[in-house]
Amino acid sequence: MSDSFPEIKVNKGLVGSVVLLIVVLIFLWKSSVKLDAGEAGVLFKTFDDGVDIEQTLGEGFHIIMPWNKVIKYDIRQQELKEKMNVLSSNGLKMDIDMSIWYEPLFQKLPLLHQKKGPGYETKIVKPAIRSALREVIGRYTAEEVFSEKRNIIASEIKELTEPLLGSQYLQTNEVFIRKITLPSTYKQAIENKLKQKQESEAYEFRLEKAAKEAQRLKIEAEGKATANRILSASLTDKILREKGIEATLQLATSQNSKVVVVGNQDGMPLILGDK
């Protein structure tokens, strides 16, 4: 007795459809690229000219040929913190903690990738900010850096950094000096000098305020004196008698009882008081 196996009929059309579906799914899986918020992509064409410098892929879903690939970049504002030991114009060493805010230029991202690649922060940003910091700090004394020139120095560093990064497809947004550390003895000397300067300015302000107040009182006194002279010159006997008569008439209409003697030695009414 020989073994027999059931005959299995294969639907070649169905198998072909399944294989085709698998191929399509693999194709879509290999061809689809999703870029999240704050991301951009550089397309690399394997069998063409390499980096596509004509376009930058934005956020969302993209379909590419499966043999090509997309290199993702974070294009949001980024911060680089740097700490350096630099020399002031008077030769004093100081530690500077600073930050720079920057971001890649969206339209120039393919060129940034082609020329520098993903490690562009180390290759471009750090050298640029270090060079600008040394150059600007070297223009000022330690006292100027530590006190009133900090914001000016940050602005000058930004001005120097902008063209350096701009030529490398990056945008400089802002530069901050977070902390300045000087030798303790020199720092104390600067602080004492600044305190004395502030006290001197406060004293000069008080002197100026006192001088202005004295001038105001003088002008006020002169005005009163002038008014009194004008008033005295205008108060003749005739005018005084006329004013006295007016006062008597107003008194006559008052509800209060008064004793009035008309005709003193000057011809003026004399008010003695309540009756």
How do residues 193-209 score in pLDDT, each as one tens digit? 666 666 666 667 777 88
Q: Does the pLDDT of residue 267 top 60, yes or no?
A: no
Q: Does the pLDDT of residue 89 top 60, yes or no?
A: yes
Q: Does the pLDDT of residue 115 top 60, yes or no?
A: yes
Give the containing element (helix H, strand E) for 10. Answer: none
What is the distance between the alpha carbons of residues 153 and 117, in angstroms, rounded to a whole number? 31
**What length is written for the chain?**
275
Q: What is the pLDDT of residue 157?
A: 93
- Please report, for residues 87, 93, 129, 134, the alpha-carbon distance to residue 96 in angstroms, rounded to integers and kept in the order given: 10, 10, 12, 10
Q: Does the pLDDT of residue 83 top 80, yes or no?
A: yes
Task: Report the half-sphere exposure of 204 (CA within 13 A, side-chain side).
Answer: 6
pTM (predicted TM-score): 0.59
The values of phi and psi at residue 63, to 5°, are: -110, 125
Q: Does the pLDDT of residue 172 top 50, yes or no?
A: yes
pLDDT over 90 percentage in the chain = 36
What is the distance between the alpha carbons of residues 254 and 273, in angstroms, rounded to a whole number? 13
